[in-house]
């Protein structure tokens, strides 16, 4: 037979302590936050160490590369010096006159019955003209003498032949017969002519490149202005 | 546990956390930020240095070629006037071409002090009087024009010497150059 126990005492009401529960939650939260802070601290330390080691690696590499660059810079400076010297020489050689070639041409072009007594070449006048041209100080229509020949020929036809032939020399624009004088060679009583010829340069063939340079600069300025607009 | 203890724990842990954040995490973060900035800078520097290095390496690889070019240019345009070498070369040319040098004079061009730093080269004017036949003088002038040192023959005057057509006198004015050490 079973017996049933019946509790007749009044039920004890459990008081729920809300404050304690909130505090408990806060305690848990704050502990979690604390632990998170500790973990984050380690994490940040780790990242910082990594960054620091990467930085020192880069610094080390850069120092080595810089050292190499400093050593190799000498080669580059040497190359620049060579290029500068080459440019200077190129500038000096520009429009250089080769008088030996012109003298050879004159000898070749001289008619059979004519010969030169004197020859005078004046390259310095052309070089001065080019310098003045660069400075923009030349007047229009100016002529620059190339060379002058004085000589003797059997007849005036030989002088004319020579003047025509001289035009074939490179860069000669004008051949000017200064004078032809009848002369009698004493002793053998031979009649010949003495002559004097001046030649003048074709200046455009020397200043053509300089013109082009000026144009290019102008074009550059124009391009800059257009790009600015 | 009493609520008071809980409050004390909460406040204590909070303050500790704040201290950890302020005294440890913040400086580490700031240091990391500075490391990142430095690292970015070093990376950029590394790229620049490497490209610079590539250029220099190519210059080094071409060194022998450039050096040969430089030696050639140095012959054409020497660093100093080298008048003794020049005179010797001119006499050698005259001997080789069978021409007599009657007279030779050198004159260094004067450069104004204000132009001294702007002019890359100095000039030497050579004034020569030669004696020889037409072809000998021609040969001599030609050899001067093509000799290793740059010589620009500017003015030439040739005339017969005492009516002898095989014995001509040539008056030559030429210019040669050397590097102006004051040029910047």
pLDDT greater than 70 at residue B136: yes
A79 contact residues in B (CB cutoff 8 A): 59, 62, 66
How many residues would you count in chain B?
184
pLDDT greater than 80 at residue A1: no
pLDDT greater than 50 at residue B29: yes
Under an 8 A CB cutoff, do B153 and A123 touch? Answer: yes
pLDDT greater than 90 at residue A197: yes
Pick among A44, A60, A81, A91 to test the B interface (most B CBs inside 10 A): A44
C-alpha distance from A106 to closest chain B C-alpha (Å) = 11
Class of domain B81-179: alpha beta
Q: How far is CA A171 from CA A100, A144, B71, in A?
A: 15, 12, 33
Whole-number pLDDT of residue A222: 66
pLDDT greater than 50 at residue A110: yes
The average confidence (pLDDT) of chain A is 86
Q: How far is CA B154 from CA A126, A161, A172, A177, B140, in A?
A: 9, 27, 16, 23, 14
Whole-number pLDDT of residue A199: 94
Under an 8 A CB cutoff, do B20 and A79 touch? Answer: no
pLDDT greater than 70 at residue A19: yes
Label residue A212 by pLDDT band (50, 70, 90).
very low
Mean pLDDT (whole number) for A130-144:
84
C-alpha distance from B125 to closest chain A C-alpha (Å) = 11
Mean pLDDT (whole number) for B23-29:
90
Q: How far is CA B35 from CA A55, A57, B8, B40, in A?
A: 7, 12, 39, 8
Nearest-by-Cβ selection for A93 from B42, B150, B154: B150
Contact yes or no for B101/B128 (Cβ under 8 A):
yes
Q: What are phi and psi of B129, to 5 degrees?
A: -120, 120
CB atoms inside a 10 Å sphere around CB B122: 20
Whole-number pLDDT of residue A217: 59
What is the C-alpha to C-alpha distance for residues A121 and A144, in angstroms, rounded to an integer?
A: 11
Q: Looking up tokens 């023959």, which residue turns up? A: B153
What is the C-alpha to C-alpha distance for residues B51 and A68, in angstroms, rounded to an integer?
A: 12
Whole-number pLDDT of residue B1: 65
- Within 8 A by CB and 6+ apart from B39, the residues are A51, A54, A55, A58
E strand spans, chain A = 114-122, 145-153, 172-185, 190-201
Q: Considering only CA atoms, which of B156, B133, B129, B158 is closest in space to residue B145? A: B156
Nearest-by-Cβ selection for A24 from B6, B42, B134: B6
pLDDT greater than 80 at residue B139: yes
pLDDT greater than 50 at residue B48: yes
Mean pLDDT (whole number) for A56-64:
92
Q: Where are the domains of chain B?
A: 3-61, 81-179
Under an 8 A CB cutoff, do B53 and A72 touch? Answer: yes
Annotate A181-207 with b (16+ C-beta within 10 A) or e (fewer): eeeeeeeeeeebbebbbbbbbebeebb
Under an 8 A CB cutoff, do A120 and B16 touch? Answer: no
Q: Considering only CA atoms, which of A145, A175, A181, A153 is closest in space to residue B157? A: A145
Label residue A100 by pLDDT band (50, 70, 90).
very high
What is the C-alpha to C-alpha distance for residues B182 and B118, in angstroms, rounded to an integer?
A: 8
Under an 8 A CB cutoff, do A118 and B159 touch? Answer: yes
Under an 8 A CB cutoff, do B73 and A86 touch? Answer: yes
Pick among A16, A17, A18, A23 to test the B interface (most B CBs inside 10 A): A23
Lowest-confidence region among A49-58, A172-181, A212-221, B59-68: A212-221
Residues B68-123 have pLDDT tens digits of 999 999 999 999 888 999 999 999 999 999 999 999 999 998 888 888 788 889 99
Under an 8 A CB cutoff, do B16 and A34 touch? Answer: yes
B24 contact residues in A (CB cutoff 8 A): 41
What is the C-alpha to C-alpha distance for residues B112 and B106, in angstroms, rounded to an integer?
A: 19
Under an 8 A CB cutoff, do A99 and B45 touch? Answer: no
Second-level CATH architecture of A99-212: 2-Layer Sandwich (3.30)
Nearest-by-Cβ selection for B76 from A24, A65, A89: A89
pLDDT greater than 70 at residue A216: no
Label residue A75 by pLDDT band (50, 70, 90).
confident
Label residue A83 by pLDDT band (50, 70, 90).
very high
Mean pLDDT (whole number) for A10-23:
78
Q: Where are the domains of chain A?
A: 55-93, 99-212
C-alpha distance from B117 to closest chain A C-alpha (Å) = 15
Label residue A223 by pLDDT band (50, 70, 90).
low
Pick among A72, A110, A135 to test the B interface (most B CBs inside 10 A): A72
What is the C-alpha to C-alpha distance for residues B129 and B157, in angstroms, rounded to an integer?
A: 9
Whole-number pLDDT of residue B113: 80
- Within 8 A by CB and 6+ apart from A152, the residues are A114, A115, A117, A183, A192, A193, A194, A195
């Amino acid at each position: 037979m079973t017996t049933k126990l019946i509790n007749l005492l009044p039920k004890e009401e459990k008081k729920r302590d809300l404050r304690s529960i909130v505090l408990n939650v806060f305690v848990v939260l704050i502990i979690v936050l604390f632990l998170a802070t500790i973990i984050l601290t380690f994490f940040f330390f780790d990242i910082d160490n990594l960054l620091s080691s990467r930085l020192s690696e880069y610094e080390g590499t850069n120092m080595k590369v810089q050292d190499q660059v400093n050593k190799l810079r000498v080669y580059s400076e040497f190359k620049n010096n060579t290029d500068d010297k080459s440019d200077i020489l190129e500038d000096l050689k520009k429009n250089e006159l080769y008088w030996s070639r012109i003298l050879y041409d004159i000898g070749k072009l001289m008619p059979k019955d004519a010969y030169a007594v004197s020859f005078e070449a004046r390259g310095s006048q052309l070089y001065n003209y080019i310098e003045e041209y660069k400075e923009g100080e030349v007047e229009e229509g100016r002529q620059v003498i190339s060379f002058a020949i004085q000589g003797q020929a059997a007849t005036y036809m030989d002088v004319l032949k020579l003047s025509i032939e001289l035009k074939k020399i490179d860069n000669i624009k004008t051949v000017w017969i200064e004078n032809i004088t009848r002369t009698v060679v004493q002793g053998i009583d031979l009649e010949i002519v003495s002559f004097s010829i001046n030649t003048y340069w074709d200046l455009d063939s020397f200043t053509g490149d300089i013109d082009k340079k000026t144009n290019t600069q102008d074009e550059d300025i124009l391009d800059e202005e257009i790009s600015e607009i | 546990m009493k609520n008071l203890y809980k409050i004390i724990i909460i406040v204590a842990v909070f303050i500790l956390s704040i201290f950890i954040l302020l005294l440890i995490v913040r400086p580490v973060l700031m240091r990391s930020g500075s490391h990142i900035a430095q690292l970015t800078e070093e990376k950029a520097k590394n790229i620049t240095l490497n490209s610079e290095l590539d250029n220099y390496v190519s210059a080094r690889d071409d060194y022998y070629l450039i050096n040969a070019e430089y030696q050639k240019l140095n012959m054409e345009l020497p660093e100093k006037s080298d008048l003794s070498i020049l005179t010797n070369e001119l006499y050698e040319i005259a001997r080789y071409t069978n021409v007599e040098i009657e007279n030779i004079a050198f004159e260094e061009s004067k450069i104004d002090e204000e132009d001294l730093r702007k002019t890359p080269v100095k000039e030497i004017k050579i004034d020569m009087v030669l004696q020889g036949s037409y072809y000998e003088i021609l040969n001599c002038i030609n050899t001067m024009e093509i000799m290793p040192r740059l010589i620009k023959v500017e003015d030439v005057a040739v005339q017969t010497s005492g009516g002898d057509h095989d014995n001509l006198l040539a008056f030559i004015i030429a210019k040669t150059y050397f590097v102006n050490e004051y040029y910047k």
